[in-house]
Amino acid sequence: MKADDIRQKYLNFFANRGHKIIPSSSLVPENDPTTLFTGSGMQPMLPYLLGEKHPLGNRIADSQKCFRAEDIEEVGDNRHTTFFEMLGNWSLGSYWKKEQLGWFFEFLTEVLNINPQSLYVTVFSGDPQNKIPRDGESVEIWQKLFSQKNIAASTVELVTEKQGYKHGMQDGRIFYYEAKKNWWSRSGVPQNMPSGEPGGPDSEVFFLFDEVKHDPKYGPHCHPNCNCGRFLEIGNSVFMAYQKQTDGSFKELPQQNVDFGGGLERLAAVTNHNPDVFQTDLFLPLLDKLETAADVSYQKEAPSLRRISDHFKCAVMMAADGVIPSNKDQGSVMRRLIRKAMISMRKISLNYKDTTLIGELVQATATIYKHAYPQVLQQQKHIGDVMAQESQQFSTALDRGIKKLESLKEVDGKVAFDLYQSYGLPLEMTEELLAQMGQRVDRHTFTEEFKKHQAISRSGASKKFAGGLADHSAKVIRLHTATHLLHQALREVLGGEVRQEGSNITAARLRFDFSHHQSLSEDEIKKVELLVNQKVKENLPVHKTIASQDEALKSGALAFFKEKYPDKVSVYTIGKDPKTDWWSKELCGGPHVASTGKIGPVKIIKQQSVGGGIRRLYAELTD
């Protein structure tokens, strides 16, 4: 079964059960300075999980583009990827465990025709310290579902991974694990959650590839959470019913939420009955290009080919959402992915300077997602140019780094890190080249230098993103509303061709990206700033209305990310009357102040180029 078919069957399945289908949000989250990328399907849904009413109702489903940086070093095995799609469905106080577990089991066994004998599930064993009970309700539901397939479903109390490796399966079908494995929040286990954060117990479904032999290096016995590759997690139903309080206790949310996520890549592997997610149509077009260009087989060079295809695809999807390689923020992650892909290309003697090959890989990625994300195909030339330029710059730096290394008489761990930091020369390559000269590198010193660098980077990031979640800070809400004024002011001063290309807002400042072919003059900046502050002084009311996307666009609302908006949208209008007397009108998810006077005076503090005809302005509040 092809990935496009699985995605569509999933969306149709939940549409038939009263869910409204929404498009994927961007990989770059809007108005959320706490994270660089969208890492889960629930991330854009957070306001609604906390009680805000979704314009489409209380049953939602989608397929969300995601990126997880923590998986970068894991890529190379048969199941980890950095970019993935998360099939998701949400109940915002509508249905609960019986419907959710029953529907997912039905989708797997009846729609995808997966053998129920190969399915195993895990549930939450409870957290006495935080007074959160074990999830016996889900166990009862699962037992009934398996019994309908004439499968006995006994429970096993494993609790920890250590116990799992010690005792194994014990003929079980349903396994109790601790919060470390069967509790979900963005911050992990209950004790790590900040106040205000929602979370809840979850129930995960695993597929057993029985033909895969257990690798005893992980432990004497296999179990669902074993890392040997026999079990593959394919779906996680989170029952998000709790919120952490300021005193550390947990209080039940006003509504019982279901937050489901299932990896499309993994479901594609399971329907093909192949534990290797890279042997699906989501990766095969890329692998075919790479095998032909390098004249190598996948069987022989699988780890390198997996890294190249994953990292390259991920960088392409980032570029399609407006990211450009740089030394900061999302751009630095994209740069790291491209460089790691190029290092792996070098290892299998692929010419990473070959712009023709790079173009073919961009085209292959665009073709894979031509139905789900047609904007990748539409931007193919731009993305190819971005990727080619970055690869050429890095190849030049890499050549200089190798030349520098060859000129050194001795290379210790600190020098090795300097080579990595200055030229992008990875430790493995430095070690390989030094080995040819009869030298070795002190890995311990290199690691210590790397940790110091990470600590400095984390410190800088924490200062930069001080202010917390955009939805819970008054200053962020004021600055978010100010972006609407800034956008309209830019269009009036520079022309109607100006379009928003992204934004990022902290309590300290707003950052606004927009299309414009040249730098703004001092006079233009002054005019924009004066116009924004004039509208602040006028104290114009901010109106929120719900309308169909067609109605909103016909009424004059701006929407420069149309593909991410559902059929029913929130429209924010700034002006005396949202129908007849308004100054700014945009599709937006909120939140906003009630009137522009609450924003306060705004000062533009910096402008810069982001490349590709995109300008960036920074502004702050001065009261």
Cβ neighbours around 23 below 10 Å, total: 16
**Residue 469 pLDDT more than 60?**
no
**Residue 461 pLDDT more than 80?**
no
Looking at residues 190-203, what average pLDDT do you find? 93
Pairwise pLDDT comparison (487 vs 47), residue with the higher score: 487
Q: Is the peptide bond before 591 cis (omega within 30 degrees of 0)?
A: yes
Give the pLDDT confidence score for residue 108 in this predicted structure: 98
**Residue 421 pLDDT more than 70?**
yes
**CATH number where 209 lies:** 3.30.930.10
Q: What is the mean pLDDT of the chain?
A: 90
Confidence of residue 487 (pLDDT cuts 50, 70, 90): very high
The SS3 call for residue 528 is helix
Instruction: Examine residue 340 and state whether it is found in any structural domain, yes or no.
Output: no
Find the Cα–Cα–Cα–Cα dihedral 98, 101, 105, 110, rounded to 10°: 50
Average the pLDDT over each of 61-70, 301-310, 366-375, 409-418 and give the range with the smallest value. 409-418
Looking at residues 179-184, what average pLDDT do you find? 96
**Residue 181 pLDDT more than 50?**
yes
Instruction: Examine residue 349 and state whether it is found in any structural domain, yes or no.
Output: no
Look at phi and psi of residue 60 and say left if phi exceeds 0, alpha if psi is from -120 to 50, else beta: beta
CA 299 vs CA 78, 272, 287, 303: distances in Å: 12, 18, 11, 9
| Total residues belonging to the chain | 623
Query: For the purposes of burial, counting CB atoms within 10 Å of the CB of 189, is it exposed (0-12), middle (13-18) or buried (19 or more)?
Result: middle
- Of 279, 306, 321, which residue is a domain's last? 279
**Residue 32 pLDDT more than 70?**
no
- Of 279, 310, 343, which residue is a domain's last? 279
Looking at residues 55-63, what average pLDDT do you find? 94
237 forms bridges with which residues in the sheet?
203, 260
Instruction: Examine residue 40 and state whether it is found in any structural domain, yes or no.
Output: yes
Instruction: Examine residue 430 and state whether it is found in any structural domain, yes or no.
Output: no
Average the pLDDT over each of 288-302, 466-480, 568-582 and give the range with the smallest value. 466-480
Task: Summarize pLDDT for 220-260 with one digit per residue, the tens.
Answer: 999 999 999 999 999 999 999 999 999 999 999 988 999 99
**Residue 47 pLDDT more than 70?**
yes
Looking at residues 528-543, what average pLDDT do you find? 96
Instruction: Examine residue 573 and state whether it is found in any structural domain, yes or no.
Output: yes
Instruction: Examine residue 72 and state whether it is found in any structural domain, yes or no.
Output: yes
Give the pLDDT confidence score for residue 612 in this predicted structure: 61
Instruction: Examine residue 439 and state whether it is found in any structural domain, yes or no.
Output: no
What's the structural domain count of the chain? 2
Q: Does the pTM of the predicted model rise above 0.85?
A: no
Task: Summarize pLDDT for 154-170 with one digit per residue, the tens.
Answer: 999 999 999 999 999 99
Confidence of residue 457 (pLDDT cuts 50, 70, 90): low
**Residue 270 pLDDT more than 70?**
yes
Instruction: Examine residue 313 and state whether it is found in any structural domain, yes or no.
Output: no
Pairwise pLDDT comparison (289 vs 564), residue with the higher score: 289
CA 396 vs CA 237, 293, 353, 609: distances in Å: 47, 21, 9, 23
**Residue 204 pLDDT more than 70?**
yes
Cα separation of 341 and 347, whole Å? 10
Name residues whose C-beta falls within 8 Å of residue 207's C-beta, 6 or more positions apart in sequence. Answer: 114, 118, 119, 120, 231, 232, 234, 270
Give the pLDDT confidence score for residue 115 in this predicted structure: 97
Looking at residues 34-46, what average pLDDT do you find? 83
Confidence of residue 176 (pLDDT cuts 50, 70, 90): very high
Share of the chain above pLDDT 90, in %: 64
Give the pLDDT confidence score for residue 44 in this predicted structure: 79
Confidence of residue 538 (pLDDT cuts 50, 70, 90): very high
**CATH number where 533 lies:** 3.30.980.10
Confidence of residue 277 (pLDDT cuts 50, 70, 90): very high
Give the pLDDT confidence score for residue 426 in this predicted structure: 80
Domain interval for residue 486: 470-621
Give the sheet arrangement for strand 614-621, strand by strand. Answer: 500-505, 510-515, 614-621, 602-611
- Of 248, 279, 310, which residue is a domain's last? 279
